[in-house]
Chains A and B, each alone.
Chain A
Amino acid sequence: MGRYVLRRLAHGLIAILGALLIVFVAQRLSGDPVALLLPMDASAEDAAAMREMLGLDRPIPTQFWVFLTDAARGDFGESYHWNAPASELLLDRLPATLELAFAGLFFALLLAVPLGVLSAVHRGSWIDRGAKLFALLGQAMPAFWVGLLLILFVAVRLEWLPAFGRGSLCHLVLPAIALGWYPVAAMTRTLRSAMLDILESDYVRMERAIGLPESSIVWRYALRNAAVPLVTLVGVYFANMLGGTFVVEVVFAWPGVGRTVVEAVFSRDFPVVQAGVLLSAVVFVVVNLVVDLSYGFIDPRIRRD
């Protein structure tokens, strides 16, 4: 288990290093930062001085090393637009994004777990067919469109819930549904096929043979076995949802990391963009690490090896 954790940690670090490299390359692609920072009529000496100050006269590997050490300290430079350190700016907005992402995940599970279990238990019934249809439609609807439809029907037409902003729990509902919509399909299908296998297993037959109530066989004894494939999927789709927050936050004017980064792209506020990209990579890696480690808690067989 210890070695397994170390290996996962190393993989995570490599992934973050890779993300840093991508950001660094993109930064160099963005053209000469000196030209961007200096007034048009600056002299060649000014430019050279600026270059030296920014360390751009040093060899590329040295520059990358400086970039890495800065990144390790969380220093991605000042936001041009907000006049604040980019990382601080985004960390301030991170709770809002995480709140949205977890709410989305909660919604997805809230729908997928009963749908997946019931369509396995009642295979071929109307609920199974309905879930399948729902899954097909769900996978073809982009999150931002679901968001727009929710605003149109629930907020504008029915006036049930607010369409924009963050505040009460009511504000969270629509963005969470929009974000959680897409993973429902895959989670339902995975859970269904896992449950189908489990419900035909010898141990479920044994549990039936000793007279355990069917409801507790399904929802307690079988479902915990289905948790491993489900958690794997949660890991995969949580990453997907982190990407989704960028779009959903824009749709619902949610004051999180995603919307800030999208705005930064428009104002060419590069420090914020690179900090945002790295932040998502770090969150992604952490989430996957947590998922990997959680297997041990769900499945005792993994704990020992």
Chain B
Amino acid sequence: MKIAVLVKQVPGSESALPISGEQTWIDEHMVSFVMNPPDNFALEEALLINETEGDGEVVIVSMGPARVQKVIREGLAKGADRGIHLEEDGRIETDPLSIAKRFSSVLKEENFDLILTGLQSDDMGMGQTGILIGELLGMSTATLAMETDVQNGSIRVKRELESGWFQWVKMPLPASISIQSGLNTPRYPSLKGIMGAKKKEVKVVSSGEHQTASKSQSIDKVFVPQTTKQTEVIEGDADAAVTRIVEILKSEIKIL
């Protein structure tokens, strides 16, 4: 089995998010980046499938500026075999169709049996890149996988539906599947893994080699959400807070 895991580097949940001068994204200089948390689960699932199936490889694929090599190395340290870095210089691409076309042009010749992605990115939250790629490359697709079961030439996936419902779907390989967070416990890299990662191959594909002319959607501006809600902030010691909460329950929400 040849498995690709698409990994994105995104601002960490604790990171500062200063809006950039032209207000179309954030100023990256003050941002601390991490591997997109849902992608950790996709990577773990790929490693588990590879361990069960044997005799295959797991390839970390990431698009972005030079900094994304950090998350590629992180994946290699956890046990992936090699990496592909789709280099981006200048503006970060936010258009899902363009992103998918760029990935597809590079992934096509690799002929992966399986492409795994996290369910969505913590930054843009478009939640479609892996499925777009699957369609562009003529693969089977499924989203929100809670369990995977590779069988001869096909994969059975337990999909999460809404309100506590699930469904098993079986599809022929090759397939591109998005993984629901929480389905496994992502491993930590071992010291040996970290040392070994340095020697593994990371192929850099320069941006000129995966350009696409199409530009279908773009961000006009980003801004801090304005709440229309009047929020009463209750701070201070616990006793004062409790007194105020009881008062609210009694005379404002009137449930006591």
Asked if A pairs with B, the answer is no
Measuring CB to CB, which residues of chain B are less than 8 angstroms from any residue of chain A?
A: none
* Interface positions of A (Cβ within 8 A of B): none
